[in-house]
Amino acid sequence: MNVSNAAMGTGVLAFPLAYKQAGWLFGTFLTLGYGVIMTITLIIIAKAARQYDAISYQDLLGQMFGPKTKIFLMCE
């Protein structure tokens, strides 16, 4: 829930400009399309976290890809 809350929180700030440039019909289509993509992505992350018994996203990256790739992906 925290990941989806953060992703939606920052996205909402860009809605007025996006709708102004894209128009209401295409803007609504894009919003729904990206909403579906984000939902699928979060479901995949949640299933992987359950499979690897990870308590955080960082822990999941470390378990799935190893410590070196985790550092690279987290830009530490």
Q: What is the pTM of this model?
A: 0.66
Report how many domains make up the chain: 1
Distance from chain centroid for Cα 36:
11
Residues 57-68 have pLDDT tens digits of 888 988 999 888
**Site of tokens 């299933």:** 47
Domain that residue 51 falls in: 2-74
The yes-or-no verdict on residue 69 having pLDDT over 90 is: no
* Close Cβ partners of 31 (under 8 Å, ≥ 6 residues apart): 15
Q: Give pLDDT, residue 67.
A: 87
CA–CA gap between residue 7 and residue 1 (Å, rounded): 10
Residues 30-57 have pLDDT tens digits of 889 988 998 999 999 999 999 999 998 8
DSSP per-residue codes, 24-76: HHHHHHHHHHHHHHHHHHHHHHHHHHHHHT-SSHHHHHHHHH-HHHHHHHHT-
